Amino acid sequence: MKKRLILLLAAMLLLGGCAASQGKPADNAYEDYIVVGFSQVGAESDWRNANTRSMQQALSAENGYRLIIDDAQQKQERQITAIRNFIHQGVDYIVLAPTTEQGWDTVLAEAKAAQIPVIIVDRRIDVADEGLFACWIGSDFRLQGDTAVRWMEENLAGQPLQIVHLQGNYGSSAQIGRTESLDIGVAANPGWTLAARDSGDFTQAKGQELVEAYLAGGIGFNLIFAENDNMAYGAIDALKKNGLVPGKDVTIISFDANRTALQMVMKGEISFDVECNPLHGPRVQAVIEQLERGETPPKFTFVEESAFGAEGLTEEIIDSRGY
Ligand code: AHR
């Protein structure tokens, strides 16, 4: 397993500006490190940045790793190129946080042919042969969506809802799962209608842009179902700019439960926030250690997650959280 890195410097040049290597072990010490190529979706959200930090902290030089991160700027083609570069470099492991579920068969077959184990984190992939990856660790996005919809049913019962739905990037598990739940909720609740729906790509700027456009277009709504915190922040900015009070005039439902968002839950601006846990670094580290010992990690690991309304939420709880 421990091929270790021979061509690291040359390959880092190949990756150019997109790759960032963590730490700086002495040049003659590369063979002592486990080299991991991490293809990250991008930096579209606070969640994503917390996820990158978690990987950097766990797969650090102090822990015996050489981590090469490639930021794909939310583009699957860039991820495919990054994986090919990692293969060319001869890294020991590839970690992939996929943009979308489809389109990975060919490049992962190439990684398999090169005998490089691939660990999938966060979103799922849909491949014909599950032998193309060692294991997956991430969230149950459908459960997250169902949790949000259940809260709406229990807390807004009997109120007609005109819903603005801010979706994540299409084809990602986070978007697919959360959208499925809302669709089922809308079909099951006669008083709920979809006033508008579009992808805000999980970014604050697009969340704001969309809500501003809906308001300018005269679309009436009283609830925003934002598929992540950053789009919720953008939506809140748009509402305030237009003299509307988030949490009063418009109920906001969100996902991720970052610290900033939980402060907004305490203030009543966001009514309910479903956790999506980004702290996968130590989980990936544990999997690599298992693989190094010749053990087989569980194929699929769902992380445990919670959800937050204002009731019972305190500064201490928020401060104690890892992101
Ligand atoms: O896949 C996890 C999602 O991706 C998070 O909800 C979102 O914030 C991120 O960009």
Local structure of 36: helix, strand or coil = strand
Work out which ligand 1 atom sits closest to the CA atom of 41: 10
Q: Which residue's CA is minimally distant from atom 3 of ligand 1?
A: 174
Two structure tokens written together for 154: 């229990």
The closest of 241, 209, 207 to 224, measured between CA atoms, is: 207
Determine the distance from the C-alpha atom of residue 21 to the mean position of all C-alpha atoms in its chain, rounded to a whole number: 21
User: What is the spatial distance between Cα 55 and Cα 51, in angstroms, rounded to a whole number?
Assistant: 6
User: What is the spatial distance between Cα 215 and Cα 212, in angstroms, rounded to a whole number?
Assistant: 5
Local structure of 115: helix, strand or coil = coil
How far, in Å, from the CA of 121 to the mean position of ligand 1?
A: 12
Quote the longest CA-to-CA distance of the chain.
68
User: What is the spatial distance between Cα 275 and Cα 172, in angstroms, rounded to a whole number?
Assistant: 17
CB of 233 sitting under 6 A from ligand 1: no
pTM confidence score: 0.92
Alpha-carbon torsion, ordered 175, 178, 184, 185, to 10 deg:
-130
Two structure tokens written together for 266: 């305490």
User: What is the spatial distance between Cα 177 and Cα 255, in angstroms, rounded to a whole number?
Assistant: 12
CB of 275 sitting under 6 A from ligand 1: no
Testing ligand 1's pocket by substitution, the residue of 46, 47, 49 carrying the most ligand atoms inside 8 A of its CB is 47
CB of 176 sitting under 6 A from ligand 1: no
The tens-digit pLDDT sequence of the chain (323 residues) is: 445 544 444 444 444 444 544 544 555 455 689 999 999 999 999 999 999 999 999 999 999 999 999 999 999 999 999 999 999 999 999 999 999 999 999 999 999 999 999 999 999 999 999 999 999 999 999 999 999 999 999 999 989 999 999 999 999 999 999 999 999 999 999 999 999 999 999 999 999 999 999 999 999 999 999 999 999 999 999 999 999 999 999 999 999 999 999 999 999 999 999 999 999 999 999 999 999 999 999 999 999 999 999 999 999 999 999 99
Q: How many CA atoms lie within 13 A of 41 on its CB side?
A: 29
How far, in Å, from the CA of 276 to the mean position of ligand 1?
A: 8
User: What is the spatial distance between Cα 320 and Cα 302, in angstroms, rounded to a whole number?
Assistant: 22
